[in-house]
Structure 1
């Protein structure tokens, strides 16, 4: 028996989408600071905290829904050459949000969050073409993202999880290979 698959615009699979905050930056960590991810943190389908900054929540509160959770999908929303970069965060080591140059996406439950992340990453080339505006000031068109990116998915969550398991295994092998190559180069 073959499984049932659907193809729908991304909009039909998104339960939450939001741009980040305009941070009130802090120089030193304290009990009132949280991490802020920005465009520099999103490279090669991965999030790195190396270029993250600090936001002072006493100066500006962050709504609870804008705190980053494991498996959230983050897309750079501005900048020529960077708008459209997609990453799915696996680990959130401390309270974290995103700045206004990124978009956060969460599934509405028709697909698993991890499956949606892999499906979107498979469309990164198309998403990279959705920026509009003048040179250097380009912005990802959110309506086009939601309406023009078509996602194919199996209805079965078991099948979605099996696909994710295979792709995660490949990702782990790629990470190990990069570590080996970096070690050999050193």
Structure 2
């Protein structure tokens, strides 16, 4: 079995910080969901903590509207910068604020789900890429792309087998959490 090792930058088609939103409280056809650092915990996105951007006051560039398999990384703050989550399926029109980085896998080069798990496995190293003074730390995007090395099987089929196995574990864990919640209620 042959493996490749390349810098993250070689495996992504798009990397960008989010938008500076103009928040609004009421959902309408002129709003888009905005994910922020609070929504990204334990390798998952919690939409219940998201906010809304008023599209009449702040447009969102098309490339910053999230798509399936986008990987989201918190980019600022001690204790939060470096947290990673992957949106396998985007449930509604969504973007991120300026404190998160969108990493979009290049599907021609790697299985997107595999890349998500490979990055999650390196979260501690990514957290170490913070720079700046205490409380005002910022994740260095260029170092993220250059210093994070992804090792992956050359076989796309094997990448998919590995990522599907991890995904099935995640689904089982999520189902068990729901069962426990219902039992506790």
Return the TM-score normalized by structure 2.
0.95
1:63-78 pair list within 5 angstroms: 63-78=61-76
1:90, distance to aligned residue in structure 2 (A) = 2.5
Aligned counterparts of 2:164 and 2:133: Cα–Cα separation in 1? 41
* Separation in structure 2 between the aligned mates of residue 50 and residue 136 of structure 1, nearest angstrom: 26
Map of 2:114 onto structure 1: 115
Unaligned 5+ segments in structure 1 are none
Residue 177 of structure 1 corresponds to: 176
Where 1:145 maps in the other structure, the secondary structure is helix
Q: Name the count of aligned residue pairs.
A: 184
After TM superposition, the structure 1 = structure 2 runs for residues 1-186 of structure 1, keeping only pairs within 5 Å, are 3-108=1-106, 109-186=108-185
Runs of 4+ in 1 over 6 A off after TM superposition: none
Whole-Å separation in 2 of the counterparts to 1:182 and 1:95: 28
CA distance in 1, matches of 2:175, 2:50: 24
Q: Deviations over 1:65-92 (max 9, x none)?
A: 1101121100000011000000001232
Deviation string 1:138-164 (CA, Å, 9 cap, x unpaired) is 100111111111100111111111111
Contact 2:88/2:113, CA 8 A, preserved across alignment: no
Query: Which secondary structure state, in structure 2, belongs to the residue aligned with residue 151 of structure 1?
Result: strand
Structure 2 Cα separation of the partners of residues 38 and 130 of structure 1: 19
Q: Deviations over 1:85-112 (max 9, x none)?
A: 0000123222110000000011222102
Gaps of 5+ in 2: none
Q: Could you say what the CA RMSD is over the residues aligned between the two structures, in angstroms?
A: 1.2
Aligned-pair distance for 1:58? 1.2
